[in-house]
Structure 1
Amino acid sequence: MTGTMSTTTSSTMSTLRRWAALAVLVGAVLLLAIDATVLYLAVPALTADLSPTATQVLWIGDIYSLALAGLLVTMGNLADRIGRKRLLLLGATAFGAASALAAFAPSAEVLIVARLLLGIAGATIMPSTLSLIRSIFTDPAERTRAIALWSAAAASGIALGPVVGGALLESFWWGSVFLINLPVIAVVLIGGAWLLPESRNPAPGRFDLLSSALSMLALVPFVLTVKQIAGGSAGLGTVLAIAAGILGGVLFVRRQRRVESPMIEVDLFRNPAFSGAVLVNFTSVFALSGVLFFFSQYLQLARHLSPLQAGIAQLPVALASMAAVLLVGFLLARLGRGRAIALALLIGAAGLGLLAALESSEQLGWVLLALVPLGLGIGIAETLSVDAVVSAVRPAKAGAAASVAETAYELGVALGIAVLGSVMTVLYRSGLSLPADVTGAVAARAQDSLSSASAVLADHADALAAAEHAFVSAMQVTTLIAAGVMVIAAVIAFTLIPDTRTAAPAADPRATPPAPDTRAAEPSAR
């Protein structure tokens, strides 16, 4: 990155101010991660209030991360032009307004729109967090610790969402999970305006609206296809969606190769170490977010825990993810990056395997114990994969690499919910066998989801038990699928990611790349 900084750069910031600024940035990314999963425990409550269909529940859950992932690169390019601090503060303001709209949404459709707006606003915040950390911390050792804390917040926030949601739902209505954003946003706005330096790219190149549109055209049809197949409505529209997604992807890649200022330098993916690290980043979050989406419903609807109890029950995942920060240095020194990531993914896969085996157990304690290796493995893999993505490329392209890592993270959250949630729905419906006296509209509601079944079968114990059994069986199979995906990712990490035994420091944001590379590297710098 060759952008100029404001007069308040890291060279003039005191140590206390640098770490205080980090606290603001980590708080912002933690809020975004929590918001991706905070609704999990609120699904039963909002289902009873708004009566959404199973497909609408999926949209409510994943449209936030889908919008965030689809717009990260676009907003990163915008930040290059108007200033990263400025865009972060503008995005935080919009995030607060969208949170208020979501909290008081009168229908499922309005809530989906509000979650979309939250995702758009969130996309203006996340690109600035990591790039500002990189500009504030110019000392390699300090920067490595700062990025590790950023990664820990991003990974643990997914698991902390249900805890926060459970605590709020114990005393308040489901909309409170959005109102809690407002005091955090106030802290980010006040602290950010005071502590954060401004930075921008002085020669960012032309802003490419067409590339932004093509990236969304490649992504949205894919998720739409997954939802249509899961909902049993696949047809000509599904075929057209697949064709549109493929066309959008091909045109996006072609345009990135031809334009003077690409939004993403697609040639980065020719580096096996880079591609492997991005896939690990995506896969670990894909598995965690997808499993937690229906695990929260499992605790409330199949285990009959209160929202607060269900949130606390998921605390082992968050604590283990945060504890992973303490182990990454040891594993990196002993095993090297590639092997450490592979081992972490295998630990996470083992946790998922244990979870699948124990979900039908009468002892809930054993089920929760399986969450520890899951959180630990994913926390280690996430932290090391972010470092691996950046270190896999030369310093001049470190900004572009960071943008891709952030996109992979958010895309993992969105598709984890969409794909694994849809698989779960299909398995539940195919495995549900209701008593003969349950027919008509009641049977249709029961087949829609366990949340709907719990609402309409409260006075029919046998039918409700059948629905709960079908849900748990479907959950076990889906959890094993997630475990299998993580095993495949472990093999990829072991094969492609080098076994370097030190954390490569991030590129100095003030460094100017060699002249031949300046035009290619600067537009993507974050």
Structure 2
Amino acid sequence: MRENGRDKNMGAGLCDAHVTSYPLRWWGVAVLALSVVILAIDMTVLNFALPAISRDLDPSGTQLLWIVDIYAFVIATLLITMGTLGDRIGRRKLLMWGIAGFGAASLLAAYSVSPLMLIIARALQGVAGATLMPSTLSLIKAMFPDKNELPRAIAVWISCYSLGAIIGPVLGGWLLEHFHWGSVFIINVPVAVAVIAGGLLVLPESKSSSPGKFDVAGAVLSMAALFGVVGALKAATAGLAWWIPALLATAAILAAGALVSHLNNSPHPLVDVRLLRDRAYAMAVVINAMSSFLLVGAMFYLTQYLQVVLGISPVHAGLLLMPGMVASMAATMITGEMVGKFSARPLLLIAITLAGAGLAMHVVEASGIWPAVSSGTGAQVWFGASFILLGVGAGMIDPVTNTIILGSAPPEQSGAASALSETGYELGGAFGAAILGAVLVGTYSRELSAVDLPLDPSQSTELSDNVNSAHVLAESLPDDLAAAVIDVADKAFTSGMGWASAVAVGCCIATAIAVRAVLPDVRAGGADSHEVDLSERR
């Protein structure tokens, strides 16, 4: 019997009891990798497009933060539900619908005419994006049951994300110099079409062989809990009345408590909470979240620092980031070959140390204690070196943690287990942009409040809003006053960057301590890799 022109055993019917490697598995990895390339490009080019978006749509500082992190907040809210849904209806089917929706939402973002419209489009991208990561990871596990081959496939998948991050800044910079900022979203459309075509040709359908009923109550409670966390954070950073974030946080805690109770007692829970009781799996999720916290949070201010404070073009900025991206991809591939030979703990400690060192270099750069690296060519060289360290550290983390995560989960729960991890990753990124962004914005506003310049109230508001607005304001002022405005704004932003980087370094130190104290001495890949026994439900 044939389905979609292929033998059913070869393409359309991998169930979770399947133990033979899928013949087209490396072609499948290529298609799945392309689907994460689109996410990497979208994330990196958005950061480079922020100055252009600010000039065209004139968003407030809060709206600019929403444009960046609404995607991550929405995707984090829906990931667990989508991952579990994919286990039931089919992971390839969910991926195809998701990538089509992502392309459509990208078109809406490209033609946005207001900050609100762009925020809505980014939220819709988040809804579609919630299907992509758990689907791709669980399909990789279905195609690679061999534990010796799985780490290599994961490393290729992650490296292609790094490749997208390399392509994104250069491609985005070129597009921004020659076309409207909306072009950085339009490029998602042909990639989405290619993923759909390739997926229908070479990807197997994969789903749980005995899924049971879909846990609607668990899905609702998980979304309510995550929405409460997200809402509380946004309300707090937006400066709303204290009782609003307090109310949302209380609602999140209550929903989370109800969710845990429900998952422990449901015959068909959304996810098996015993996964999170396993220290190796839980620490891998936490480390993934912290890695995203550092990368997304840092990229929010580092790209603006390059273009606005240092005054370099988007293409130049992209080229400056490229060595770090290449180093990250190389580190991922090399680590992917090492995870089956070495314990996870030392690999992760080395990775976190390198990432922390890279972030510490930004603290030095912002402090001004070494003038040679605080401006001009010296600042660019120092920046490039720091980003290489950060890239290598981040590149080493992902293959170790994701191999632990996929290796720990039973096949029938690979989508849910991947979704739990990706929820942590996306929440980490959202919290990184929000918290490190709030440190930056708070420092910027505090330092400018002490500045006395001959500006009217509206101009003072524009100056204190964000550094992009300050540079736009300077274009309409006399030369002497414009120079003073740019000088104080750049110094305030650089100070904020230093404090945000210092917070990030502190997070690296705390994570390293947790890895040393909590993570068991397990091996991520190979025949003797760690696996959670969920053979008995109770």
Structure 2 distance, partners of 1:266, 1:400, is 11
Equivalent pair of 1:434/1:463 in contact (CA under 8 Å): no
- Residue 329 of structure 1 deviates from its aligned partner by 5.4
Change (3 A) 1:292 1:101: same
Structure 2 distance, partners of 1:198, 1:505, is 26
Are residue 491 (structure 1) and residue 513 (structure 2) matched?
A: yes
Change (3 A) 1:188 1:86: same
Structure 2 distance, partners of 1:119, 1:196, is 23
Equivalent pair of 1:395/1:506 in contact (CA under 8 Å): no
Q: Identity across aligned pairs (percent)?
A: 38
Equivalent pair of 2:151/2:399 in contact (CA under 8 Å): no
Spell out, residue by residue over 1:156-180, the C-alpha distance to the aligned partner (whole angstroms, 9 max, x if none).
6456543432232121111011000
1:215-230 residue pairs with structure 2 within 5 A? 215-230=222-237
- Residue 227 of structure 1 deviates from its aligned partner by 3.1
Spell out, residue by residue over 1:24-66, the C-alpha distance to the aligned partner (whole angstroms, 9 max, x if none).
0011022123323321111111111111111111111011122
Change (3 A) 1:14 1:72: closer
- Structure 2 unaligned segments of length 5 or more: list them: 1-6, 369-373
Structure 2 distance, partners of 1:100, 1:403, is 26
One-letter amino acid matched to 2:501: T
Change (3 A) 1:240 1:389: same
One-letter amino acid matched to 1:7: N
Change (3 A) 1:393 1:8: closer
Equivalent pair of 1:98/1:115 in contact (CA under 8 Å): yes
Greater mean alpha carbon deviation, residues 255-264 or residues 385-394:
385-394
Change (3 A) 1:14 1:478: closer
Q: What is residue 198 of structure 1 aligned with on the other side?
A: 205
Spell out, residue by residue over 1:138-194, the C-alpha distance to the aligned partner (whole angstroms, 9 max, x if none).
333322211121233345645654343223212111101100001111110111111
Equivalent pair of 2:148/2:525 in contact (CA under 8 Å): no
Change (3 A) 1:105 1:161: same
Are residue 84 (structure 1) and residue 91 (structure 2) matched?
A: yes
One-letter amino acid matched to 1:371: F
Return structure 1 stretches of 4+ with deviation > 6 angstroms: 10-14
Greater mean alpha carbon deviation, residues 5-14 or residues 492-501:
5-14
Are residue 438 (structure 1) and residue 455 (structure 2) matched?
A: yes
Are residue 287 (structure 1) and residue 294 (structure 2) matched?
A: yes
Greater mean alpha carbon deviation, residues 466-475 or residues 169-178:
169-178
Structure 2 distance, partners of 1:326, 1:137, is 17
Change (3 A) 1:125 1:389: closer
Q: What is residue 112 of structure 1 aligned with on the other side?
A: 119
Scaled by the length of structure 2, the TM-score of the pair is 0.88
Change (3 A) 1:260 1:322: same
Change (3 A) 1:450 1:305: same
Structure 2 distance, partners of 1:429, 1:397, is 47
Change (3 A) 1:487 1:152: farther
Change (3 A) 1:144 1:332: closer
Structure 2 distance, partners of 1:14, 1:250, is 41
Match of 2:383 among 351, 367, 375: 367
Q: What is residue 178 of structure 1 aligned with on the other side?
A: 185
Match of 1:377 among 366, 371, 393: 393
Change (3 A) 1:255 1:502: closer
Are residue 421 (structure 1) and residue 437 (structure 2) matched?
A: yes
Change (3 A) 1:25 1:468: same
Match of 1:386 among 402, 412, 418: 402
Q: What is residue 510 of structure 1 aligned with on the other side?
A: none
Structure 2 distance, partners of 1:405, 1:504, is 21
Match of 1:452 among 469, 475, 482: 469
Across the two proteins, how many residue pairs are aligned to each other? Answer: 510
Change (3 A) 1:160 1:413: farther
Greater mean alpha carbon deviation, residues 41-50 or residues 492-501:
492-501
Change (3 A) 1:394 1:201: closer
Change (3 A) 1:395 1:126: closer
Q: What is residue 503 of structure 1 aligned with on the other side?
A: 525
Structure 1 distance, partners of 2:40, 2:95, is 16
1:158-169 residue pairs with structure 2 within 5 A? 161-169=168-176
Are residue 477 (structure 1) and residue 460 (structure 2) matched?
A: no
Structure 2 distance, partners of 1:131, 1:398, is 5
Are residue 345 (structure 1) and residue 357 (structure 2) matched?
A: no
Structure 2 distance, partners of 1:463, 1:398, is 54
Are residue 271 (structure 1) and residue 278 (structure 2) matched?
A: yes
- Residue 321 of structure 1 deviates from its aligned partner by 1.3
Change (3 A) 1:155 1:213: farther
Structure 2 distance, partners of 1:109, 1:506, is 51
1:225-304 residue pairs with structure 2 within 5 A? 225-304=232-311
One-letter amino acid matched to 2:346: R
- Residue 198 of structure 1 deviates from its aligned partner by 1.0
Are residue 70 (structure 1) and residue 109 (structure 2) matched?
A: no
- Residue 383 of structure 1 deviates from its aligned partner by 1.6
Structure 1 distance, partners of 2:413, 2:93, is 23
Q: Which has the higher contact order (CA 8 A, sep 6+)?
A: 1
Equivalent pair of 2:148/2:526 in contact (CA under 8 Å): no
One-letter amino acid matched to 1:461: A
Equivalent pair of 2:208/2:412 in contact (CA under 8 Å): no
Structure 2 distance, partners of 1:389, 1:299, is 36
Structure 1 distance, partners of 2:43, 2:218, is 26
- Structure 1 unaligned segments of length 5 or more: list them: 508-512, 521-526
Change (3 A) 1:343 1:14: closer
Change (3 A) 1:481 1:457: same
SS in 2 for 1:352: helix
Scaled by the length of structure 1, the TM-score of the pair is 0.90
Change (3 A) 1:394 1:27: closer
Spell out, residue by residue over 1:382-428, the C-alpha distance to the aligned partner (whole angstroms, 9 max, x if none).
22111223345667765543332222222222221122112211111
Equivalent pair of 2:209/2:412 in contact (CA under 8 Å): no
Greater mean alpha carbon deviation, residues 22-31 or residues 229-238:
229-238
Equivalent pair of 1:223/1:418 in contact (CA under 8 Å): no
Equivalent pair of 1:445/1:452 in contact (CA under 8 Å): yes
